[in-house]
Structures are given as structure tokens and as C-alpha cells.
Structure 1
């Protein structure tokens, strides 16, 4: 239900006749113009002022307050700046305190003045105005005893030298302020969920809104009492501190506390009912939404994303705010994780495979990655806030602006229906808002932006185009290696956690290269690299044994193989990719052996030679046997001819369909069944229907 629609057909069934008359008068002043105000952030600023300025009690420390800045508070649609609006309201309210007249009339004047604002904005602007005034007052009080400038300003403003005689007033004031903030927080909570309110029963909304109208009246009236108290401190003489007038003011504030406390209890009880209704109905609606096809993704996204204001998303790099409507006609990828996201190496790889990927220029703007951090506990901790704010200002993706406001029903939906188990995952929604891949993170590790539109069908299509080549294994991990592969160079990738084996292997390779054999040799370490690997890299570099991948790129190399294993295994017809899966598993398993391993290939040609331990060194020892065949069969073919003679004499009629690559023109492809050179044909495929 539209909120303005409710207010125009307001029902008085839940309030008394007197309250009904007052509410109708208040609603006559209410004419919002659509401007948006970050009420939560301003309330946080108010809490910080209370925490620093209150001479009697301190507000509890809030981890969100500590980890965020109020500098981001913004108002959209205001004719004047937010600062000017707050100061203007403060002066208007303060001037009313110096005028004659009853407090009810002054309160209704505030409603008239604030008519164009939403309910939460009315309250937060008056409170911001008061606490700006009160903060300056307390600053002067605290500094005047030892700062000459503050003492002179205190004299001009008639600020008392000491507040020790006003303990009763400040006790009542502190309690009233605490209650005002508590009630305002509940109202902001309700007003910040306009879409979810559509899931509530009309009777529930009627009761809650009626109480919000009454609470708004008493908050503004209480704010006037607070303004008047500060004004009174400046005009009350020391001998008047315990006068009947002052005592009456104290009891007035206590009576306001009593009334607001009752309203607060009622509102909280009603809000609990609201959360229960929203939670149940939202979960059911989400289940149904993802079972039907819509014309766009807007409704699905609005149900998932916490709609605190019109701009619930932000660009992490530019810090620009974005609306859900900007995601229309785009593929949306939800990167769901814990607030700390991923280990730093995986974050680098994710950025490299998306934002920095060469293919990104061709499809940039066609999809958006939105980071959705979910805390491991029900409430966000200080560590969660700090992790989120650091990463959300560093990543090249979008993120939820305030992920801690995710509805519990949405969190449960992500955990149960999307199977989120605290491991980072990437759920893909197409332009219609339908899920096309429940977890695309592996295919993004492997192919990056080339995997667009990141659907399960696209993942299968990519595997059908792949064969076991160096290009598949490396794929942009290291620009130099990629260049060598594109140029059709011979490469040997090897690894071991046995330095003696590394030295022996490197010495034999150097002897072989001294004969004129063109071969680039790269050390790739081992799976799950540790600090021991850093020492190995230092030794290999110092002794000039071979070229090495960096520690981070070695992590990428093995993580990529793990992702390939997961991705292939997940395919519906995995048997069609048994050859690639066998090679991936073999390479991962060889890593667990005590001896080293080597992988030799030429450019983008399929058919790599993989050997481990003694077999690798024996292959090099046989170099005089197969060296003479390198010119005709190529490096891989020559080695295979020596180690793996043809299995049969008659043709086996096996065929492989390979994606076109420049290196295939001059290379020789060997049959994976009989190990003999294969005859080359050309196949054309129309891709007009592909995106």
C-alpha cells in the first residue's frame, strides 16, 4: 500500500476521540514533496553528540558509529543545503521559545513548518537543529574554564560558569533525550521500509501509523521543552535554580518521558508484529518471484535489496550512490560473502578476472557485480563494520550501501534457497531477474569477463570449446606467459617442494637448452603455497635456476586448477569432459608426491606432456633420442614418440574439434587415443545468435 494513500484514508479506529482530532489536524499539515533524507545517518550524528556532550551519562558505544562517518549524510530534493536547513529550523524553533504562547500552538507551528518532509525527516531535522545548538552550548561550558576565547563567548551568550546547580534539570533532560532518540529510531525503522510495508495487513499499518502520528507530536513537543531548558539555563540566576518555576519545568520533562515511554513500548510491540508479518510474507514472495518470468528485474531486486532510501547501492570506487532502476536491462551478479569477503590473493584474482579483464571493454556496462556481505552472527560486530567499510571503499564493484539492514527473511532466503554457507558465491540474475547460475564464481575464476552472461548454459558452451592446452591452464595469470603461448613458444612448467630435485631438474634442462633447443622454463611451486615457498623462490632466483611465477601468481595457478575441477564436475554431462578432468586431477594429485613434476606444451596446441619425479628426469636424459624429431613433429610430438609409441597400426578415426587459434596453423596435433599426428580440417560455425 502507498503510504500517502493510507494517510488520505486514515482510520481512527485505534485511537481515542481526542487523539483522533489531533491526528487529523496534524495530517492537514502533512504534504511531502518527495525529498529524501538520510535520517539514520543524522540520528547517528545525534547519538555521537550525546555521547560526547552529556555531562551526566554517556551513550553506549555503537560499533557502527565508530566505523562510519556522518560526512556522507545527504538530502536529495532539498531546495537548500542540508546544513542551511538544519540551522534555519534550529533558529526558528529557538525563536519560538522566546515568544509567549502555549506549547501546543508552538508544536503545531513546527508541523506547519515541516509539512513538506516525511515523518522521519520532520523529527530528525528538529533533533539535529537542537543538538547542533546544544553541542555548541556544551562545548563552551567545557572549555570556558581554561580557554579565554570560550570564556568570552560564554559571557556574550550568557552561559553559566558551572552546571553543578542544575543536576535535577539535566537528569530529567538526559532521560527525555534518551526516550526521544529511542522513539525516533523506531519511527525511522518503519519509515525506511516502504516496499516491505506492502506485505503488511491494513489493520497493522493503521495501528502503527496512528501511533507514529502521536509519537511525532510528542517528540516535537518534547524537543521544544529541551530548547526551552537550554534557553532557561542562560537566563536563570543562581538563586532561582530551586524555584517553583524550575521545579515545574523538571516535572514537565518527566511527564513527557512517561508519555513517550508508553508510546515507545507500544510502537516496539507493533514493530515486532510488522517484522513477523513481513518476514513470513517476504520469504513466500521471494520463492514465487523466482519461479515466474518478469519483463524486467526490478521487482525481484527491490525485494532482495534493503530499500533504506532511493539509492540503496553504491559504487565502491567512486562512492557514487545508485538506484535499483539503474540495473534495468543488465545482468546482475550478487557476490555474497562474509564482510571480510575473501583472502587478499583471491580478491586480486577476482578483480583481475572481471574489472581488469581484456574482454571487459567489449561488454562493460552489460552487467554489474553487487557485493552483498552477510554477517556470521545475527548482529553486525565492530569487526564486520570495519571490514565492510574498508573493502567497500576499495573494490571496483558495487555494494549494498548499508548491508546490515538486509531483512532477516532475505538473509534466510539466501542461506536456504541459494545455499550460502559463508563461502563466497556469485549468483547470476538475467535481465528478467531470473537466476541463470546459482554460483558462477568458478567460471569467473577461469574465464573472467569472457564468461558473460555467466549462465550455466554459457559455462557448458565454454567447456565444449576448450581442450587441454597451456592456454587453458594459464589464461592471463601472467602476461608474459600468455604472450609466449600466443606466439607458439615451447613452455615447460614445473614444480616441487624438494629443492634437491629442483636443482637436479634445472641442471638437466640447462644442458638440453645449451644444444639450441628453444624452451621457456617456469617454476610454479606447489598447491596451497606457504612461507616455505617464498624461501624456495628466493633460492631459485639467487641461483638462477629458472624463471619463477611470483608467490601471488602461483596461488592463482593452483586456485584456477581447483576452480576448473569444480566447474567441470558440476556439468550435467560431465562425461563429455572426462579427458580434461582426468588431466586436471592428475596435475592436482601429482602435487602431493614427494618428487617434482613437469608439464611441457607448445603455444595453444592441445596434447601436453605431463611427467613426474624420475620420469621427468628420464625424459630429459632421453633428449638425444627424440631431439632429432623436434623439427618434424614439434617438441611435444618428439617427446611422445619416444615415451608413448602409437597404440595401434590401423587408423582409429578419433577426432577433436578445436577452437581456432593462430598457433594451430603451424603446429601438429596428436591423437589422444593412438598418439599419432592428426589430419587437419576446417569447420565453420555460425555465432549470429550468441550475445
Structure 2
């Protein structure tokens, strides 16, 4: 049901805050007097002799008012051009000498833009001495008069459908005789019989004034005198006083559409229909259609530009009144009446041009005069500027509404996944994915579309990621998906993008076509609230995360990837309790460190060999380090296997080192860059999982975790790119050190060789490495940013001092 929106003009003191009210929007009629309480009008200061006032007239001295000071504000200067006004010749009597508006040369052309409209902001004959020839009068009086015609009731109708019909008529060109126009069917409910009589009244009111407007001051433009248009505009507005502003505009445009439609019908059928031909003869149209067809089309083309501008502004007004009532603020109510007034004035201009053709009054061979062109241009420019301002305010309002909706939906998602108890996982997933209600399942030709209900009573792992660098995660998940089939949990890929292009949509189709698990359909439909929730509540940034939900929709882990990388399917059901239990059962040894990453090393350990893992990027250091180890292994009489594990975040620059090691048969290496990535990803996952466990246990800084210290050391080694080494055997002690420290210990083998029989090889090496040494640079390492788990302080694994904290942003560096 329609609502009334009272429109109360602001007092004059608020003019500075209203950009559209700082300039006049309507020419003042000669007989109009400005009420004293509205404000003083300052005459234009003469700048040249030609601009001096007529002699004999009394002109009060200019006064500096508060309003004038406000008009010097830069913002006021910027917004003064929001609506420009035409100075018509009869208005030049108001304090200025008469000047000819006829251009010096009739060959002068107005600037056009690409669409055929007269260009905005360009020098044209409408300008004189650098300023537009527009009247500066107080439109507060006009606004008050417009508001007096507005007394809406609760009556409402489908304004959008009626405007659509009007727009279709305006877009119709003048048809050729042999052209068969395609018809357009309208919905049955689009019926406006109740308004037919009113539209006819409006049409008659406009038509009568256009044909009998009379002349004043010796000027007549397109059949309707300029002063008469102002009076006619208020007369038309009075006919639609009980309707809302959007309804007023559409009804008045409908009256123009009827007039224009009749003209088009005459043009289309006068040569083939006897009745139409008779009517056309009376109106003297055959001569116009035959001899002036080109000029007529040019005239109507310019008129249709103004029609389109009216439709655009009317569409904006309709959108404004589709807003919730509380959002229709003074930014709209103070300017919509002005917009409606100028649409009515533009309707009168169009009607005058059409009437002059239909009724055969013009004998100028259809050629538009300069004044007619300028009149259409000025009205189009004014409507576009008003529409631009209202559209800007509308977009700001819509953005506020969208932000409020996003906030409400975001809070609802928080409640959905934290406080509300569900009986099935489907309910919260529907809320998260809304409005998307289906998934894809299966690969290639087996892929089919299924509902979200297919996940009912299942444990669900949501893999949330973007579209980049998924190959490694997908490879591992494909192996786990088969093993986990009987454990009643399912993978669902949820791709997240802030903006989706056609290229990204194509990439999405390519990626999910090979996936055997579930994939969210049309992920670009996800609302902003869902994207915000995934990022802020679940910690998604760019690195993929795996959110675990139990069969009732309860979040058991905001990122189960670390648990899966460490323990694979043994991590099921991916709860915090399960994570605590796994760490409580787990021993820190070499077998656990390389589990799942290098089967060759595991086989060597099974044969009782010592395994030395090492990394670095200096080939000469690698040769020296491996040669030292061979000498020590021979002297200590131990079987040793050396394995090159590279560094964290391996790039292509690491592949040549692997190739050289294999060519020179220096040592064994991990199979490829993928295996190297997975080895270090597991260590990062151990660090993240340990941090989460310690946070869950509320450990204090004094409660040290030795396993975490070892993990941190390895992360430091792998991040620096320098040489390092770690040696152990099966479940025995692991001994690790930086490359230079390890080299010194190996060259000093004779100093600790005697301890091997009593302590064992690993313990003797460890004690020698831990012996006091001269001060040296300890270590540095970069922590992975996952789920926001970054500790406030980290202790150095070499000297036990608190490390300094820095921020590093790194991209695509070797």
C-alpha cells in the first residue's frame, strides 16, 4: 500500500546544505514577486557596457547576505551546475538589456557526443562571455507552488509496468510504409483502464495549451509560449495531485506517449488505410511525410533524446520510492518535486514539437530552428544533471541498505554456527550458501546436479579456497577421499572470489569438472555476508582452509588441513579433543617427521640405517657437507643415508639443485618439488596444530613445549635457505644444527669419537654440538599465517632468548 511522505521545504538558512537549491531551477515569471521571508535577490552586477541595466530603472545596491557567503563555498561552486536554467528572451526584461539569441552564423553546429546528444560542458552558443545564458532566480517559490499541488492519498498502481509501455512507445521510430513492426505482448495484469480518463484529461490539458497558448512579448516557441508553459505545468500537476511523485510522472508521460503513438500510427498507416489517409489529408501530413521525411526524422530524433532523458529520470524516481520508508530522506524529498516539475516542462516541449507536425501548423519544411534545438538541449541537460544527482544519492542509499543487510545476515550466520542447535548439517549449510541451493557431484560424464539434502547426516569438510594453486591440495585430497569413503564424511569445494569475471567462471568450470567430490554450484551468487563470515569468523585469506562440520552442523574445526596433513584420516572426526589425544600419543622422532613424504627413507630406517636430512642452496656447501658425513660414517662404522629435502616454499630455482645432486650422485633427494612442498607443509601444519593445542590448554609462557621448539627450529632452517642438517635413526634422538655448526662438529670428530661407545653416536654428537661456543648469529624464521594463530613472542631455539618480531611481505621470490 502506498504511503504519504510529507514534503516540508527547509528554511532559507539551510540552503547551503542543499546543492540543488543554491541555483534557480525555474525562470521567474515577470508578474512573480518574491515574498520577503524567502530571501533577497541580488541583481547581476554589470560587467560590460552591454550588460548595464536599462536606464530609468531603479536598482538597489547589492547587499552581502549570509546566502551569498555560502555560495562562495567550493562545494557550492561545484554543485551550482547540477541544474542549469535557460534564459528566455522575455526574461531579459528583468534588469538586463535585450540581446539577440540568434547565432551569427546559421552554419554553426552544436557539439555532439557519441550518442547524438548535445555535448555537456562544452562551449556552445548557449554561452556568452564565459557564462551560461541561464536565469538565476529563486526556485524556492517554484518548489512551494509544486508542493501545493501535492496532496496524495493511499491510492497506488503498477507504475513500473506503465512506464515500460511508455518507454516502448518512445523508442518506436517513424516507420516506413512497407515495414511490418514486431508486436510485443504485455502481461494480462498490466491493465490501466482506471487511469485512461485521467491520462486523456492530462493529454487534453497539454494539447489545448500547446495549440492556443497565445503569444506574449512577441515570442512563440513551438506553439506554446514560454510563460504559458509554467502555468500549464502547475495545471497538469493539479490533475495528478492525489498521486505519489513517481505515479505523477508516469501518468504525465503516458499522456505524452498517447500523443506520440497517434502520430506514429498516422505515419505508418496513412498510405495503406483509407481512414488514416483521410485524417492525414486533413492534417496536411502527406506532404510532410513525403517531402520532409528526412527533416522530420531529424526533428523526432532530437525529441526522442529528450524523451529518453525523461524516462531515465522517471525510472530513478520510481527506484527512490521503492526504498523502505525510513530511507526516503530529505536528500530525495527536497529534490524529487523539482525533478517532477522539469519532467512536466519537458513533456510540454515534446508535445509542442509533435503537435506542430501532426496538426500541420509548421510550414518550415520540418527544419528545426536554432531556438528549438537549444530548447531541447537545455531541457535534456537539466534532466540529466538532476538525474545524475538523484542517482548518486540513490546509490549511496542502496549501499547503506546493502551494508545493513550484510551486517544482519553476518550476525545471523554467527548465531547459526555458534549458538543455534541444529538436528542436521543441511540447515546451517543452506543458510551459508543461500541463495544457492544445489551442488555438483561426480567427475566428467558422471557429474550430476544434486540438492544440498544429499549431505544429510554426514560429516562435511568444506574446502574453502580461491581458484589459484590448488593442484597440491587436490592431489592429496583425491587420495584421502577414497580412503575416507566409508567413514561418512564428504568433501565440498566452496570457491571464494570477491569478483567473478567470465575468465574465472570458465576456470571454475574446468577445475570442478575433474573433481569427484561435491562442488558448490554458481559460487559467484554467494552474498557478501557469506564471504565476510568465511574470512572473519573462519580466518580464510588466500591459503585454502578445510572447515569441519559434524552431522548436526556443529563446527569441529575451522581448519582441519593441519590435522589431515599430519595424521591423514586418523584425524577423523577433526575435533579439538581428537587433536589433543593425537599429540598426547605422538612421539617426536624421525619416523613421525617424514611419514608419508619419503617411502625410501622409511625403508632405509627399517633396515637400521641412520638418516641425515639436509637442505641448502649452495652446491659447494652441499658437496663439502656430504663428503664430511661420508668420512664420519666410515670412521664411526655406521650405515648412513643422506636425503636432500630442499627448503620451504620451493620454486623452480630448486629444481636445478636437485638435478645436479642426482647427476653427481651426491645423495638421495625427495622425488620432486611436490614432495618437498608436502614435507615442509607438514612441518608448518605441526606448528599450527601445536599452537592451537597450547591455546586450548591455556599454557603460560613458562610452560615450554619441547616438540614445538624443535618444529620452530626446522621452520627457521627451511626458511633461510642456508645449509643445515638433522640426523637420527628410527625412534631415537634427533640431532639438528645449522650448516656451519654441523660442519665444525664433523671436522672435530676426533674430539667426541671416544664418547660413542658409552653414549652412542647420536648422544655423543648432540653433547658436542651443545657444548659452549663463541657468540654467533642464531636463527630467523617466517611463520605461516593460518587462522590468525601468531604468538605474541617466540623463544630462539639456539640461545633461548626472546626473538625480535618483524613483518615480512613476500611474493614470488626465490
Q: Against the structure 1 CA distance between its residues 407 and 358, is the aligned structure 2 distance closer, same or farther, given a 3 Å change threshold?
A: closer
Q: What does 1:10-89 align with in structure 2 at a 5 Å threshold?
A: none
Q: Against the structure 1 CA distance between its residues 357 and 423, is the aligned structure 2 distance closer, same or farther, given a 3 Å change threshold?
A: closer
Q: Does 1:351 align with 2:474?
A: yes
- Given candidates 689, 708, 712, the residue that maps to 1:567 is 689
Task: Using the TM superposition, give the Cα deviation of residue 554 of structure 1 relative to its aligned residue in structure 2, in angstroms.
Answer: 1.9
Task: Using the TM superposition, give the Cα deviation of residue 387 of structure 1 relative to its aligned residue in structure 2, in angstroms.
Answer: 4.3
Q: Does 1:536 align with 2:657?
A: yes
Task: Using the TM superposition, give the Cα deviation of residue 268 of structure 1 relative to its aligned residue in structure 2, in angstroms.
Answer: 8.6
- The aligned residue for residue 601 of structure 1 is 728
Residues of 2 paired with 1:301 and 1:525: CA distance?
A: 41
Residues of 2 paired with 1:511 and 1:577: CA distance?
A: 37
Q: Does 1:360 align with 2:483?
A: yes
Residues of 1 paired with 2:518 and 2:710: CA distance?
A: 37
Residues of 2 paired with 1:421 and 1:410: CA distance?
A: 14
Q: Against the structure 1 CA distance between its residues 417 and 579, is the aligned structure 2 distance closer, same or farther, given a 3 Å change threshold?
A: same
Helix, strand or coil: the match of 1:427? strand
Residues of 1 paired with 2:430 and 2:765: CA distance?
A: 64
Q: Does 1:587 align with 2:680?
A: no
Task: Using the TM superposition, give the Cα deviation of residue 325 of structure 1 relative to its aligned residue in structure 2, in angstroms.
Answer: 0.9
Higher relative contact order (CA 8 A, sep 6+): 1
- The aligned residue for residue 456 of structure 2 is 328
Q: Against the structure 1 CA distance between its residues 465 and 327, is the aligned structure 2 distance closer, same or farther, given a 3 Å change threshold?
A: same
Residues of 2 paired with 1:485 and 1:305: CA distance?
A: 48
Residues of 2 paired with 1:594 and 1:418: CA distance?
A: 32
Residues of 1 paired with 2:755 and 2:669: CA distance?
A: 29
Helix, strand or coil: the match of 1:412? helix
Question: Gapped runs of 5+ residues in structure 2?
Answer: 5-152, 162-172, 174-181, 191-246, 248-260, 262-267, 273-289, 324-397, 771-814
* Contact preservation (8 Å) 1:597, 1:613: yes
Helix, strand or coil: the match of 2:546? strand
Residues of 2 paired with 1:612 and 1:352: CA distance?
A: 33
Q: Against the structure 1 CA distance between its residues 403 and 488, is the aligned structure 2 distance closer, same or farther, given a 3 Å change threshold?
A: farther
Residues of 2 paired with 1:569 and 1:301: CA distance?
A: 29
Task: Using the TM superposition, give the Cα deviation of residue 499 of structure 1 relative to its aligned residue in structure 2, in angstroms.
Answer: 1.9
- The aligned residue for residue 565 of structure 2 is 445
Q: Against the structure 1 CA distance between its residues 425 and 519, is the aligned structure 2 distance closer, same or farther, given a 3 Å change threshold?
A: same
Task: Using the TM superposition, give the Cα deviation of residue 525 of structure 1 relative to its aligned residue in structure 2, in angstroms.
Answer: 1.9
From the CA coordinates, give the structure whose radius of gyration is larger: 2
- Given candidates 410, 426, 432, the residue that maps to 2:552 is 432
* Contact preservation (8 Å) 1:306, 1:406: yes
Q: Against the structure 1 CA distance between its residues 397 and 624, is the aligned structure 2 distance closer, same or farther, given a 3 Å change threshold?
A: farther
Helix, strand or coil: the match of 1:426? strand
Residues of 1 paired with 2:688 and 2:587: CA distance?
A: 16
Task: Using the TM superposition, give the Cα deviation of residue 411 of structure 1 relative to its aligned residue in structure 2, in angstroms.
Answer: 2.2
- Given candidates 763, 771, 780, the residue that maps to 1:640 is 763
Q: Does 1:501 align with 2:621?
A: yes
Q: State the TM-score, normalized to the length of structure 1.
A: 0.51
* Contact preservation (8 Å) 2:647, 2:721: no
Task: Using the TM superposition, give the Cα deviation of residue 315 of structure 1 relative to its aligned residue in structure 2, in angstroms.
Answer: 5.3
Q: Does 1:480 align with 2:608?
A: no
* Contact preservation (8 Å) 1:442, 1:563: yes
- The aligned residue for residue 205 of structure 2 is none
Q: Against the structure 1 CA distance between its residues 510 and 299, is the aligned structure 2 distance closer, same or farther, given a 3 Å change threshold?
A: same
Q: Against the structure 1 CA distance between its residues 321 and 485, is the aligned structure 2 distance closer, same or farther, given a 3 Å change threshold?
A: farther
- The aligned residue for residue 491 of structure 1 is 611
Q: Against the structure 1 CA distance between its residues 601 and 300, is the aligned structure 2 distance closer, same or farther, given a 3 Å change threshold?
A: same
- Given candidates 653, 656, 680, the residue that maps to 1:558 is 680
Q: Does 1:371 align with 2:498?
A: no
Q: Deviations over 1:300-334 (max 9, x none)?
A: 111110324x4255557654323211122122233
For this pair of structures, how many residues does the alignment match? 434
Helix, strand or coil: the match of 1:556? helix
Task: Using the TM superposition, give the Cα deviation of residue 594 of structure 1 relative to its aligned residue in structure 2, in angstroms.
Answer: 8.1
* Contact preservation (8 Å) 1:359, 1:449: no
Residues of 2 paired with 1:265 and 1:397: CA distance?
A: 48
Q: Does 1:458 align with 2:585?
A: no
Residues of 1 paired with 2:590 and 2:558: CA distance?
A: 29
Helix, strand or coil: the match of 2:736? strand
Counting helix residues as a fraction of each chain, which structure ranks higher?
1
Q: Against the structure 1 CA distance between its residues 108 and 424, is the aligned structure 2 distance closer, same or farther, given a 3 Å change threshold?
A: closer
Q: Against the structure 1 CA distance between its residues 478 and 424, is the aligned structure 2 distance closer, same or farther, given a 3 Å change threshold?
A: same
Q: State the TM-score, normalized to the length of structure 2.
A: 0.44
Task: Using the TM superposition, give the Cα deviation of residue 394 of structure 1 relative to its aligned residue in structure 2, in angstroms.
Answer: 4.4
- The aligned residue for residue 151 of structure 1 is none
* Contact preservation (8 Å) 1:469, 1:608: yes
Q: Does 1:613 align with 2:733?
A: no
Q: What does 1:200-211 align with in structure 2 at a 5 Å threshold?
A: none
- The aligned residue for residue 513 of structure 2 is 393
- Given candidates 293, 296, 317, the residue that maps to 2:424 is 296
- The aligned residue for residue 146 of structure 1 is none
